[in-house]
Chains A and B, each alone.
Chain A
Amino acid sequence: MRFIFLTILTVLLVVFLNPIAPFWMVMIGIGVLSALIYPNGIGGFLGGGLGMGLTWLGLSIYLGITTSSSLPDRMGDLMGLGSGMTLVGLTGVIGFLLGGFSGWTGVLFRNMLQKNPENVYKG
C-alpha cells in the first residue's frame, strides 16, 4: 500500500517539481517522500524508481509523439545507440535508477532514526 502511495506521490513530484528544478533536487524530494511514507526497503526502491522512471519514460514518449521530431533518432545515431527508441528506454532506465536509489536512501534514513526494536522489550 505504502509502495503504491510512494509511486503515485513520486510521479506527482516529478511532474510538478522537475520542470522547475534539476534532477538532483527531484532525487532529494523523492528521498524525503520515501522517508515520510516509509515503505520497506524494496518498496522504497521500487516506488521511487517506478515513479521517476515511468514519468521520464512517459514524458519522452509524449514529446516524441506530439512533436514527431526527428531529434530522438538523430541523437540516437549520434550517441551510437541506433534509433530514438533506445533513447526512450535509456531515459526510463536512468530515471528508474535515480528515483530508486533516492527512494531506498529515504527508507534507510527513516530506519536509522527509528528506535532500536530491542527497546520495545525494555519498555
Chain B
Amino acid sequence: MKYVSFFLVLALTAALAVLVSMPIGQIPPIAPLLDPNHGFWQNTLSEDQLAAEEISLKNLSAPVEVVYDQNLIPHIFAQNEADLYRAQGYVTAQHRLWQMEFQTMAAAGRISEIVGPIAIDLDRMTRRKGLVFGAEVGLKFIQETDPETLALMEAYADGVNQYIAQLTDARLPVEYKILNYKPEPWTAFKSALLLKYMSDMLVGDRDLEFTNLRKILGEITLNKLFPEFPTENDPVIEAERIWDFTPVAVTKPDSINYPDETLLLGPLTQPVEGTGSNNWAVAGKKTKNGNPILANDPHLSLNLPSLWYSMQLSTPTHKVKGATLPGALGVISGFNEDIAWGVTNATKDARDWYKITFLDDKRNSYSYGNVVRQTELRIEEIKVKGQEPFIDSVIYTHYGPVVYDHTFKNERQDVNFALKWTVHAGSNEQKTFLLMNKAKNHQDYNDALNHYSAPAQNFVFASKKGDIAMRIQGKFPLKWSGQGKFLMNGSDPRMEWQGYIPNEHNANTLNPERGFVSSANQHPADPSYPYYVFDNSFEHYRNRRLNRRLREMEQITVEDMKALQFDDYNLQAAEALPVLIQLLGTYKSDSPEAEKYLQELKSWDFFADPNQKGQTLYSIWSSETFESIWRELMANEVPLVRPNSYQTVELLTKSPTDSVFDIRSQEGFETAEYHVKAGFDSLLVAMSKWETEEGDYSWSNFKKTTIQHLVPNFKSFSASNIYTGGGSGMLNATGSRHGASWRMVVELGPEIQAFGIYPGGQSGNPGSRFYDNFIPIWANGEYLNFSLRTIENQENVLFKTTFK
C-alpha cells in the first residue's frame, strides 16, 4: 500500500511539474513565467536597480566608461573604435535585445519560428522578394571591399554575444518568456539585414497598379489623373538650382511593348501612408544667434520598444550623439562636435518588375532577346513552430527573384514576374554612418554619402563652420522617361536599366541663396533636373507648408524650430475646405446637426490641435468625398491606386464639372457637387454613430494615436489614445499609428546645443520605468536636452559602468 501511495503521489507531483513547464496552446509554461526568481517578476526591476559598477567585457584593448544620464541615455567613452562598437553592441543588447533580434527575424523571414504557421505567408513574401539574398550579397560586398568596417561589425556582434552569453533566466527580456524562446547569437550578417529591412519599410512601387490603370483608363486619362509633376511643385532641391553637369545619355526605345493584361496579383506590401519625414537646416543669416540650426523628424510606424535608441559614442578623436538603430553601428541621425545631419526618405521608384517568358514549365531557362538564359534555384527553408519546415523554391533570373508565380499569390500558371531592386546589389550603408559619425565638414559628409545605396535618403547637413547642405543619396537607376512606371517585358533587353546615375549627379545643394535647405518626401527636383524621376507617393502638403514658413521666418531660434516640428497646420484643409463648403451650398441646411457641424468647420483655423473638432469633421468629410469620387474606378477587381489627394482637390477646385466626376453606372451626369454632398451625408452618418458610441469627437480622441508593441497582440504593452495633435500631410505628421518617431533640433554654435525626443523610452523592458517615460514629453512637443557630455560631467548621472 505505501509503495502504491508513494508512486501515485510521485507521479502526481511529476505530472504537475511537467504540466506547469509546458506551453499549452498559446499559453507559455506557467511556472517558469511566474517563478519570482526567474520569471516575469524579475522584469519589474528597472535598469538603475540592476546597475553594475563593473562589467567584464573580453577583447577590449582598454577599459570603456559608460555614463548613463537621468533618462538612461548611455554615453560611451572608449579609447578606439573597435572598443567603442563592442561596447555599443553590449549596451544596446542590455536594453533592446529582444527587439533587435525580433526585427532581424522579421527581416530574415523567420517569424514562423516564433509564432507558428500563421506567419508562413509573411515569411515567404519576405524571402521571395530577396531581402535575405540582398543581405548576403551586401555582406559579401563588405567582406571583399571593406575589411575595416567588417571588423567593426564583428566587434559589435561580439559585444552583443558577450551579453547574451552571460544572460540569466531572470534577466531574459519578458517577451522571450512569454513567447517561450531564447536569443541566438548575433552576427555581422544581422546588422546587414537590418539595413535591408529599412529599405523594405521605406520603399514602394506601384508598377502593377499603374499597369492596370493604363489598361483601364488609357494613357491620356492616366496622365491627367496622375501627372508626374504637381501644379505647385516645391521640390527638395530649390527650383532655382542650375544643373552644371552633362548628364549621362539614356536612350529610349522607339517602340515599347508593355505586357498588356489586367493583372490580379497580390501586390507587395507598400509603405503605409503617413510614413515620411521632415528635415531642414537654416543658415546663420536667418537665425537670431547667427548659427546654423538643423532639424530632423523621421515619421515611421509608432512602436514600442521604440525603433530608436539614443546614445553618445565617444573616442579621443570624436564625440557623436543622436538616435541609433538597435542592431546597426553608430548614430543614424545626430550630430558631433563639428556637424549635424539628418535623414528623410527619398521616395523614388527603386523597384521594377519584369515579365519573364520561360521556355517551358520547368522554368530552367527563359528567353532574353535572341538568346536563352538559365535560371538559378534558391531553396528557402522556413522553420515553423510546432510543425515541419515549409520549403519554398524561388527562381532567380538575372533581373532578380521571380516573386510571383503560380505557387505564390497568383492564380495564373503563365504569369511570372521578376523583381529588380537596388537592394539586391552589394552595398555598404554601414560605412556611410561610420564615416558620418566622424565627419568634420561638408567634404567628409559627401565622402560618407558616396558609400550609400538604399533606402535612398535626403541627407540634410549643417556645420559649425556655417555650411548648410542637402543631398539626395541612393543608387538610382538611369531610366528613360516613363521607364519602370509599368511592368516591363523581361524578354526585351531594351527594357534593362541603362546603368546608374553617378553620385555626383545626384540632386544636391550647398548654401543656397534662400538661406535654408529642406525636405519632406516631395519631388527631389524641378523638371529641369536632367534625369527621369518617378514615384507615386511624393508629398504635396508638408513640403509647401515647411518651405513657406522657412521663407518667411527670420531671426530664427531653436524654440522656433521646435515649434515648427510640432506644427499642426493642415494645408490640405486650408485649400480644400472652402471648396467643399462652396460646393455643398445650402444642402441639408434644414438639419440642426448638419448646421452645427458646418459652423464648427467654418470657424476652424485649420490647426489640427488635439482639442479641435473641425479637424475630425474635415478628415471624415474629405475622405468620404474622395472615396465617393473614385469608388467606380476602384470597383475594378484588380489592384489599383487612387489619384492622390492633391490631384483630387485640384480637380474639385478647378474643374468641378469634369467627366471624371460622372458615375457611368448611374443615369444623368454627376459633377463634383454630387460627391461633396454624398461625402457630407456619410459624415452625418459617421458622426451620429460616433456621438452615440463615443461622444467626444475632438481630434485626439478621434484619431487615437497608438504606440503599439511590436507584437500587436500584446495590447497592454502598448500606449494607446495619446493626447496629441497633428496628422498625415502636416509637419507634425502624427496620425493614429504613424508619426514623428524621433525629433531633433541642433544649433551649431561655438557650444553645440541639441534637443531630442522620441515616443518611447530607452528601455525595451515593459516593466521598466524607462520603457515609455518619453511619451508624455513627446506628446506635448517638448524635448530633452541632448547636448554632448564630457566624461567628467557629474550632473544628472543615473549610474556609471566600467567595462574591463
Contact = CB atoms under 8 A, between A and B. Distances in A.
B177 to A, nearest CB: 10
B42 A77 contact: no
B391 interface: no
A15 to B, nearest CB: 9
B715 A108 contact: no
B3 A27 contact: no
A87 interface: yes
B30 interface: yes
Contacts of B174: 71, 75
A88 to B, nearest CB: 9
A56 B13 contact: no
B713 to A, nearest CB: 8
Contacts of A31: 13
B51 to A, nearest CB: 14
Given A78-B716, A97-B16, A101-B9, A63 B44 contact: yes
A91 B36 contact: yes
Nearest to A65: B44
A112 interface: yes
Interface string B166-177: 000110001000
A67 interface: yes
B768 interface: yes
Nearest to A78: B716
B768 A101 contact: no
Identify whether the interface residues of A are mostly helix, strand, loop, or mixed. helix
B36 A60 contact: yes
Contacts of B43: 69, 71
Interface residues of B, number: 41
B89 interface: no
Interface string A47-59: 0000000001001
A67 B44 contact: yes
A90 B33 CA distance: 11
B20 A64 contact: no
B45 A63 contact: yes
B769 interface: yes
Interface in B1-33: 2-3, 5-6, 9-10, 12-13, 16-17, 20-21, 27, 30-32
Contacts of A108: 2, 5-6, 9-10
A77 B715 CA distance: 8
A52 B35 CA distance: 11
B245 interface: no
Q: Which 6 A-B residue pairings sit nearest by Cβ, starting from the closest?
A: A71-B767, A69-B44, A77-B716, A59-B36, A101-B13, A108-B6
Given A59-B36, A63-B42, A105-B10, 15 more contacts: A23-B17, A23-B35, A24-B17, A24-B21, A59-B41, A67-B46, A69-B43, A72-B44, A74-B717, A75-B40, A78-B714, A78-B715, A87-B34, A91-B36, A104-B9
Interface of A: 18-19, 22-24, 27, 31, 56, 59-60, 63-64, 67-75, 77-79, 87, 90-91, 94-95, 97-98, 101-102, 104-105, 108-109, 111-112, 114
11 contacts: A22-B38, A23-B17, A23-B35, A23-B38, A63-B44, A67-B45, A77-B715, A78-B716, A98-B31, A105-B9, A111-B5
